[in-house]
Amino acid sequence: MEKTVNQRAWFLVIPVLILVAFSSIIPMMTVVNYSFQDTFGGNDFFWVGLEWYRELLHSERLWDAFGRQLLFSSIILSIEVPLGILVALSMPKKGISASICLVLMSLPLLIPYNVVGTIWQVFGRADIGLLGRTLSDLGISYNYSQNAFDAWATVIAMDVWHWTSLVALLCYAGLRSIPNAYYQAAMIDQASRWSVFRFIELPKMRGVLMIAILLRFMDSFMIYTEPFVLTGGGPGNTTTFLSIDLVKMALGQFDLGPAAAFSLMYFLVILLISYVFYTVMITAEKDEVQS
Amino acid sequence: MASITLENLAHSYHPNPGGDDDFALKAVNHTWEDGRAYALLGPSGCGKTTLLNIISGLLTPTRGRVLFADEDVTASSTVARNIAQVFQFPVVYDTMTVEQNLAFPLRNRGMEASYVAERVGRIADMIGLQADLKKKARGLTSDLKQKISLGRGMVRDDVNAILFDEPLTVIDPHMKWELRTQLKSLHREFNHTMIYVTHDQTEALTFAEKVVVMHEGRVVQIGTPKELFETPAHSFVGYFIGSPGMNFVPVSVAGNNARLGDETMKLTHDYGHPNGDLKLGIRPEFISLTKGVGLPVRINRIQDAGRHKFINAVLFDTEINIAVDASFQIETDMTNVILDPDKVSIFCDDWRIDAQSAGKKDGGVT
């Protein structure tokens, strides 16, 4: 049968096109526009080409923030993933206690980001905070606003507190989907607890773990609110991550051109890393099926 | 290896079982003799899997004891019991190769590498997986996966028993036959006690020396295939074994006279005067269709099933099936049947009564 060609069908996608244009394409292109120009008061634009990109790629400040960002993401991933798995493994499997656990675990995920920052800011204060006060009473010097190590430790602890439940809940869902026969077979085969984890639970959690790692990577790589409320990027620049740096540049110094170039590169880096990650994930899966 | 004894075994999935209905398994007393091949036959939901899981220690029974030889293992773990079990649906370790899968139970017991290699090679040969040994188990089809599961069940040669829980459900019909033959030869070679759960009577009758029939959480009969066929202890066995199953016709019995509708038939034995819900049971194979002699029937339909023809007829308001050879010519004036008196069984409240225990109500095996 011949297909009828009817170009008028294109009209049907117009509403969506308009929506997408106003919500992403136009704002995005504005940023692109800024990134190639210098602006002066009175909305004077001056074409600079790739100048901002070149400058930023040689800026130590940006590379430092990038390094800190990578370090932060790797640290929280290496804590949250194993911890999340451990929590998921030790959660009750059914009954009322399982429901209570699930609700308690979801609570940190429901708290707005800036509230999380505020909670930890108060929590860590040496004069009135439970954590800060306890530590100083124990004779441990702790001050997240003066000491870089303390600041890092607090930011990491905060992220772990906030997001480990997400990993745990995803893993829990993965674990619950394993048919009981697998555990029974493992018992019959006299497998050790470690073998059960290594050969049954981990392979079956693979899919959800990949999603958890991807989500946690993207989120942590874009983190802004919590460290901004807690440390404001300090002391000095020690907890200034990419997005904090970006906001400083765009709104603090009002360098719109470089900030626009910065955001585009930031966006591309996240896209690139996520894409690489996703591809590795998918091909690994395919290989496994084929081999 | 040892015999396995079940003593007053009962199991309920309810935390606080009340009446009999709460029990998936009701008072089972049975000894599985060392080195025999048993089939555990019964419809879905009759407690077969529960019984297996109790034997292997995956479940702890609500009541009763499990003994291996004379040792009480009711509280022992699955590992301590050293039992192999194959489940209905394939369970493989995805990330391992076929070879590693087969070797897994042996490695867990810390066997020597040379012994492991020898056993794995042997089992792979037997189930026809030799060519796939190096493949990842994950990408295989489900019947290959089930072969791996079977292989893992048979790879240890020091187990107390091998339990099969409907292991051939996902296997192709022609492979089923082959694998069952392999299992039998394995049994002859190693003399493991084998318990093979199935709801397929052909599978049960061809696999086992002794068939244990379960019905609603009870063992209703244990016997050879022949015994089950000829002298079913319970009407359920009569109905479940054979295709089509045994015919049951309401009857009243006095001595060696059976009264069916308004006709009387002589029985070969004296049954006394049994009380209860009485039924006469006869297999379709032992009814012959005649002209004018015997009990009157009305024929409903005739089915041709290759080697046999099955005739569905009505005898005194009860539907019965009659099996005749394919070559048998059915004529329109054949409206009577003769029941072979030697093959007639009398059931009282679903349990078969025999002439010796005449008058007793409960003649079945429990």
Contacts of B149 in chain A (CB under 8 A): 185
Report pTM.
Answer: 0.76
* pLDDT, tens digit, 9 for 90 and up, residues B132-156: 888 888 888 888 888 888 888 888 8
Token pair, residue A181, equals 């026969």
* pLDDT, tens digit, 9 for 90 and up, residues B321-362: 888 887 887 777 778 888 888 888 888 888 888 765 444 444
Nearest-angstrom CA–CA distance, A281 and A288 = 11
Q: Which amino acid type is present at position B245?
A: G
Nearest-angstrom CA–CA distance, A147 and A139 = 16
Among the partner residues A182, A187, A195, nearest to B58 by beta-carbon distance: A187
> What is the nearest CA distance from B123 to chain A, expressed in angstroms?
16
Half-sphere exposure of B297 (CA within 13 A, CB side): 29
* pLDDT, tens digit, 9 for 90 and up, residues B205-230: 888 888 888 888 888 888 888 888 88
B160: nearest CA partner in chain A: A188
Please give the residue that has the higher pLDDT: either B197 or B263: B197
Predicted-complex ipTM score: 0.76
> What is the nearest CA distance from B179 to chain A, expressed in angstroms?
20
Domain extents in chain B: 4-230, 243-353
Q: What is the pLDDT of residue B88?
A: 86
Q: What is the pLDDT of residue A274?
A: 84
Contact B91 A182 (CB under 8 A): yes
Q: What is the pLDDT of residue B130?
A: 83
* Cα three-residue angle A19-A278-A176, rounded to 5 degrees: 100
Beta strands B37-41; B193-198: pairing state: parallel
Contact A188 B138 (CB under 8 A): no
Mutate which of B108, B146, B154, B195 to test chain A, going by most A C-beta atoms within 10 A?
B108
* pLDDT, tens digit, 9 for 90 and up, residues A144-176: 888 888 889 999 999 999 999 999 999 999 999
| Mean pLDDT over the full length of chain B | 83
Q: End-to-end CA distance of chain A: give it in Å, rounded.
A: 41
Please give the residue that has the higher pLDDT: either A71 or B285: A71
Token pair, residue B123, equals 């089992």
| Coil, helix or strand at residue B18 | coil
Inform me whether the pLDDT recorded for B74 exceeds 80.
Answer: yes
Among the partner residues A189, A199, A204, nearest to B105 by beta-carbon distance: A189
Residues 6+ apart with CB under 8 A from A268: none
CATH fold, domain A60-290, is MetI-like fold (1.10.3720)
Of B68, B53, B72, B66, the residue nearest B8 (C-alpha):
B66
> What is the nearest CA distance from A172 to chain B, expressed in angstroms?
19
Contact A289 B95 (CB under 8 A): no
Among the partner residues A179, A189, A203, nearest to B104 by beta-carbon distance: A189
Domain extents in chain A: 60-290
Nearest-angstrom CA–CA distance, B191 and B174 = 25
Contact B105 A291 (CB under 8 A): no
Mutate which of B60, B95, B120, B152 to test chain A, going by most A C-beta atoms within 10 A?
B95
* pLDDT, tens digit, 9 for 90 and up, residues B79-120: 888 888 988 888 889 888 888 888 898 888 888 888 888 888
Q: Is A232 left (phi over 0), alpha (psi -120 to 50) or beta?
A: left
Confidence of residue A74 (pLDDT cuts 50, 70, 90): very high
H or E stretch at B290? strand B287-290
Contact A289 B138 (CB under 8 A): yes
Nearest-angstrom CA–CA distance, B204 and B241 = 10
Q: What is the pLDDT of residue A171?
A: 93
What string of DSSP letters covers chain A? -PPPP-GGGGGGGHHHHHHHIIIIIHHHHHHHHHHTEEEETTTEEEE-TTHHHHHHHT-HHHHHHHHHHHHHHHHHHHHHHHHHHHHHHHS--SSHHHHHHHHHHHHHHHS-HHHHHHHHHHHH-TTT-HHHHHHHHTT----TTT-HHHHHHHHHHHHHHHHHHHHHHHHHHHHHTS-HHHHHHHHHTT--HHHHIIIIIHHHHHHHHHHHHHHHHHHHHT--HHHHHHTTT-STTTT--HHHHHHIIIIIS--HHHHHHHHHHHHHHHHHHHHHHHHHHHHHHHHHHH-
CB contacts < 8 Å between A and B, how many? 64
Contact B108 A203 (CB under 8 A): no
A287: nearest CA partner in chain B: B139
CATH fold, domain B4-230, is Rossmann fold (3.40.50)
Inform me whether the pLDDT recorded for A84 exceeds 90.
Answer: yes
Residue entry with tokens 């009711």: B74
Inform me whether the pLDDT recorded for A32 exceeds 50.
Answer: yes
Among the partner residues B85, B94, B104, nearest to A203 by beta-carbon distance: B94
Contacts of A204 in chain B (CB under 8 A): 94
CB distance B129 to B98 below 8 Å: yes
CATH 2.40.50.140 matches B243-353: yes
CA separation (Å) from B158 to B83, B127, B238?
A: 9, 19, 38
* pLDDT, tens digit, 9 for 90 and up, residues A207-264: 888 889 888 998 898 888 888 888 887 788 888 888 888 888 888 777 888 888 888 9
What string of DSSP letters covers B142-161? HHHHHHHHHHHHHS-SS-SE
* Cα three-residue angle B22-B161-B234, rounded to 5 degrees: 45
Residues 6+ apart with CB under 8 A from B139: A288, A289, A290, A291
